[in-house]
């Protein structure tokens, strides 16, 4: 999902107010990403300069939960959702986990991920080419499922179902992390990349519908003023 918005429509009641044709919503997004260059700048919509700030904030957030002891999350295997060329896998997940799986809807990005990750690509268990609306995580495989800048490409119902499947993919004390843009009010449709940006209360409601609880939440600091607010939520 792009970091800045082109506000084409808005509604307060969820995506039903702004998305009329689900199949077109998904196909237009796939077509958009097929035209995006497989680079860090491409993954971040021209904001490649914020990558280090983003990774630093994510690392501080994630390390609150990792380690040994009751309630702590293990470091065996992580899943990078909407992985693109593996920016987050390379700089956040592979340094912390023994194995990482990547899933993305664009095969070209996954092909680029192998050389981009270099030697560390040997520790990637799977490169899944699949939209998250259709992706089924392997049961009881992941300590952390990282979902960043991609939930806007899912309808409300598909996001709820995907989160439910993710819940089944977690190991004991596993964690789902969602990091994404947040609208000030309602739901904003970006017709250019065929995605939506939801207000935080709606995101929280979808998490609840999926049978998950938000155990920690924070806003990413030090991003440029012109882009959306970005919030990170830890779910169990």
Mean of all residue pLDDT scores within the chain: 94
- Mapped onto helix, strand or coil, the DSSP state of residue 140 is coil
Q: Does the annotation place 233 within a ligand binding site?
A: no
Taking residues 91-105, what's their average pLDDT? 98
Closest CA to 236 of 104, 65, 63, 91: 65
Which residue, among 188, 181, 193, has the nearest Cα to 27 in the 3D structure?
Answer: 193
> Average pLDDT in the 201-225 region?
97
**200-209 and 156-169 are packed helices; what angle lies between their axes, rounded to 10 degrees?**
50
pLDDT of residue 5: 53
Residue 19: is its pLDDT beyond 80? no
CA nearest to 43, candidates 5, 85, 6? 85
CATH label, 9-235, candidates 3.60.10.10, 3.40.50.12780, 3.40.50.150, 3.30.9.100:
3.40.50.150
Q: What is the largest CA-CA distance in the chain?
A: 48
169 is in an annotated binding site: no
pLDDT at 9 over 80: no
Contact between 82 and 152 under an 8 Å Cβ cutoff? The reply is: no
Is residue 105 marked as binding? yes
pLDDT reading at 21 higher than 60: yes
- Looking only at the bridges linking them, the beta strands covering 195-198 and 187-190 are antiparallel
Say if residue 104 carries a ligand binding annotation.
Answer: yes
Instruction: Please check if 148 is assigned to a binding site.
Output: yes
Return the SS3 of 179: strand
* Residue 22 pLDDT class (50, 70, 90 cuts): very high
What value, to the nearest 5°, has the Cα angle with vertex 113 and ends 54 and 126? 105
Residue 86 annotated as binding?
no
Q: In the structure, what pLDDT confidence band is assigned to residue 10 with cuts at 50, 70 and 90?
A: low
Q: 65-80: b or e for each residue (b if 16 or more CB lie within 10 Å)?
A: beeeeeeebbbebbbb
Is residue 36 scored above 90 in pLDDT? yes
pLDDT per residue as tens digits for the range 132-153? 999 999 999 999 999 999 999 9
Q: Is residue 102 a contact partner of residue 124, using CB atoms and an 8 Å limit? A: yes
Domain positions in the chain: 9-235
- Phi, psi values for residue 124, rounded to 5°: -85, 125
Q: d(Cα 101, Cα 120) in Å, to the nearest integer? A: 12
In the three-class reduction of DSSP (H, G, I as helix; E, B as strand; rest coil), residue 127 is classed as strand
* pLDDT tens by residue, 108-118: 999 999 999 99
């Amino acid at each position: 999902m792009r970091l800045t918005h082109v506000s084409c429509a808005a509604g307060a009641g969820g995506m039903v107010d702004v998305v009329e044709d689900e199949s077109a919503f998904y196909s237009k997004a796939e077509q958009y990403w097929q035209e995006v260059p497989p680079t860090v700048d491409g993954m971040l919509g021209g904001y490649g300069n914020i990558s280090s700030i983003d990774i630093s904030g994510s690392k501080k957030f994630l390390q609150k939960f990792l380690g040994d002891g009751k309630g702590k999350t293990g470091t065996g295997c992580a899943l990078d959702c909407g992985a693109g060329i593996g920016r987050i896998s390379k700089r956040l997940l592979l340094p912390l986990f023994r194995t990482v799986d990547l899933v993305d809807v664009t095969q070209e990005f996954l092909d680029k991920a192998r050389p981009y990750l270099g030697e560390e690509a040997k520790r990637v268990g799977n490169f899944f080419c699949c939209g998250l609306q259709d992706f089924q995580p392997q049961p009881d495989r992941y300590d952390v499922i990282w979902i960043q800048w991609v939930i806007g490409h899912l309808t409300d119902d598909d996001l709820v179902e995907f989160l439910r499947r993710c819940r089944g993919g977690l190991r004991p004390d596993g964690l789902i992390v969602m990091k994404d843009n947040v609208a000030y009010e309602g739901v904003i449709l970006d017709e250019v990349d065929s995605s939506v940006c939801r207000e935080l209360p709606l995101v929280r409601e979808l998490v609840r519908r999926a049978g998950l609880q938000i155990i920690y939440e924070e806003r990413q600091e030090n991003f440029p003023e012109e882009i959306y607010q970005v919030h990170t939520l830890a779910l169990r």
